[in-house]
């Protein structure tokens, strides 16, 4: 037995998928006030009463002495570029707003005169505020020759306390040779594939690169039966995100005939009350496949496993 048996399985199957995490972000006092200020076309800083540091954007605590910040200040719209990074799509800069002791990171306007370290810039505001950092659209070079501005008190500003936030991550997942082949076989031949360990001779389902017990590379793909034995089961009543079946249903661990590992699937074919009463560990089960037209090359091509009650003594 050698690795050469595992040939013709290099065509990587790829799954296009998306992780979406919508949630509400609690801004905190300083960031919420800073965002509220941007919506009002003002850049707000916080001032430390202890060491007199002025920080833009506003911070809840002094980033030099650690004391809680005091009043907020309304800063000028002008400043000086202190550092710059250019990417293909955007030029990012650290900007020392006039009167501030810290730098604000933001983007520079695209097009127009080029900016560099030392360039005087001024704020460009978005037409429509969206309660985001981009209410301040960008900074653009300022050649007016105007004197640097000075901070002024803000008066009371109601902070934005919460903002809707979403992480949206599109990604491509490569199944790799083992899962790819498993899904291929499920879709085209209704065969369930395992991989065999050359040392302990166990057949592992789903097939995998290494034996979990011996830590040696598996060397052969083999078919396993679509019949097996019920190893454990639970009746699921709870609904949760990502669930593909509607509760109640029976979630089961099944050891397929010819396999040494447990496959997670469902047991069905009867109402849940009947299954609850009649299922027992060690009971034979068999796969009930979906219609060929509905197969997608996943383990869900098996609709469920049906208990084989009649084989019981």
Q: Does residue 269 come out as left (phi exceeding 0), alpha (psi in the -120 to 50 range) or beta? A: left
Nearer to Zn ion, 6 or 252 (CB): 6
When asked if residue 26 is in the footprint of Zn ion (CB under 5 A), the reply is no
Return the range that interacts with Zn ion (CB under 5 A); candidates 41-49, 121-129, 186-194, 227-235. 41-49
Task: Mark 272-294 as b/e (b = at least 16 C-beta within 10 Å).
Answer: beebeeebeeebbbbbeeeeeee
Alpha helices in the chain (DSSP H): 29-39, 176-189, 272-278
In eight-state DSSP terms, residue 242 is: T
Least distance in angstroms from the C-beta of 33 to Zn ion: 18
When asked if residue 196 is in the footprint of Zn ion (CB under 5 A), the reply is no
When asked if residue 236 is in the footprint of Zn ion (CB under 5 A), the reply is no
Do residues 197 and 305 touch, judged by C-beta distance below 8 A? no
Among 15, 65, 264, 281, binds Zn ion (CB under 5 A): 65
Among 84, 187, 200, 229, binds Zn ion (CB under 5 A): 200
Among 26, 50, 130, 243, binds Zn ion (CB under 5 A): 50
Nearer to Zn ion, 194 or 307 (CB): 194
Number of residues that bind Zn ion (CB under 5 A): 13
Nearer to Zn ion, 162 or 212 (CB): 212
When asked if residue 71 is in the footprint of Zn ion (CB under 5 A), the reply is no
Distances (CA, A) of 221 to 158, 289, 295: 65, 22, 22
When asked if residue 9 is in the footprint of Zn ion (CB under 5 A), the reply is no
Q: 42 phi and psi, to 5 degrees?
A: -135, 140
* Bridge partners of residue 122, in order along the sequence: 78, 140
Least distance in angstroms from the C-beta of 136 to Zn ion: 25
What is the CB-side half-sphere exposure of residue 7 using CA atoms within 13 A? 4
Return the range that interacts with Zn ion (CB under 5 A); candidates 4-12, 65-73, 95-103, 274-282. 65-73
Among 36, 211, 279, 302, binds Zn ion (CB under 5 A): 211
The order of strands in the sheet holding 91-97 is 104-107, 91-97, 78-86, 120-125, 136-141
Long-range contacts from 58-66, C-beta under 8 angstroms, 24+ separation: 58/30, 58/31, 58/33, 58/34, 59/30, 60/28, 60/29, 60/30, 60/31, 63/102
CA dihedral 27, 31, 36, 38 (to 10 degrees): -130
Among 51, 83, 146, 281, binds Zn ion (CB under 5 A): 51
Q: Segment 214-233, which members bind Zn ion (CB under 5 A)?
A: 214
When asked if residue 160 is in the footprint of Zn ion (CB under 5 A), the reply is no
When asked if residue 197 is in the footprint of Zn ion (CB under 5 A), the reply is yes
Among 91, 102, 199, 231, binds Zn ion (CB under 5 A): 199
Q: What is the largest CA-CA distance in the chain?
A: 96
Among 47, 53, 120, 178, binds Zn ion (CB under 5 A): 53
Return the range that interacts with Zn ion (CB under 5 A); candidates 22-30, 50-58, 93-101, 269-277. 50-58
> Which stretches of the chain bind Zn ion, using CB under 5 A?
48, 50-51, 53, 62, 64-65, 197, 199-200, 211, 213-214
């Amino acid at each position: 037995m050698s690795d050469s048996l595992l040939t013709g399985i290099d065509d990587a199957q790829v799954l296009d998928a998306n992780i979406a995490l919508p949630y509400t972000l609690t801004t905190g006092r300083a960031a919420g006030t800073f965002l509220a200020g941007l919506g009002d076309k003002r850049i707000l800083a916080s001032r430390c009463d202890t060491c007199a540091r002025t920080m833009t954007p506003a911070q809840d605590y002094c980033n030099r002495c650690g004391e809680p910040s005091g009043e907020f200040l309304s800063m000028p719209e002008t400043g000086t570029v202190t550092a710059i990074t250019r990417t293909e799509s955007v030029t990012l800069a650290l900007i020392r707003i006039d009167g501030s002791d810290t730098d604000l990171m933001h983007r520079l306007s695209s097009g127009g005169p080029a900016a560099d370290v030392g360039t005087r810039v001024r704020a460009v505001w978005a037409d429509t505020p969206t309660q985001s950092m981009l209410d301040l659209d960008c900074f653009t070079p300022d050649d007016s020759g105007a004197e640097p501005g000075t901070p002024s008190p803000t008066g009371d500003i109601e902070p934005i306390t919460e903002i809707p936030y979403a992480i949206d991550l599109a990604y491509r997942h490569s199944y790799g040779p083992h899962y790819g082949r498993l899904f291929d076989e499920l879709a085209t031949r209704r065969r369930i594939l395992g991989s065999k360990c050359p040392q302990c001779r166990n057949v592992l389902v789903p097939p995998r690169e290494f034996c979990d017990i011996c830590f040696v590379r598996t060397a052969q793909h083999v078919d396993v039966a679509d019949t097996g034995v019920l190893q454990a089961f639970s009746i699921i009543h709870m609904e949760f995100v990502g669930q593909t079946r509607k509760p109640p249903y029976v979630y089961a661990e099944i050891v397929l005939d010819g396999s040494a590992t447990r496959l997670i699937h469902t047991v069905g074919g009867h109402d849940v009350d009947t299954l609850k009463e009649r299922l027992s560990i060690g009971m034979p089960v068999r796969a009930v496949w979906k219609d060929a037209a509905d197969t997608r090359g996943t383990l869900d091509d098996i609709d469920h496993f049906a208990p084989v009650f009649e084989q019981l003594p």
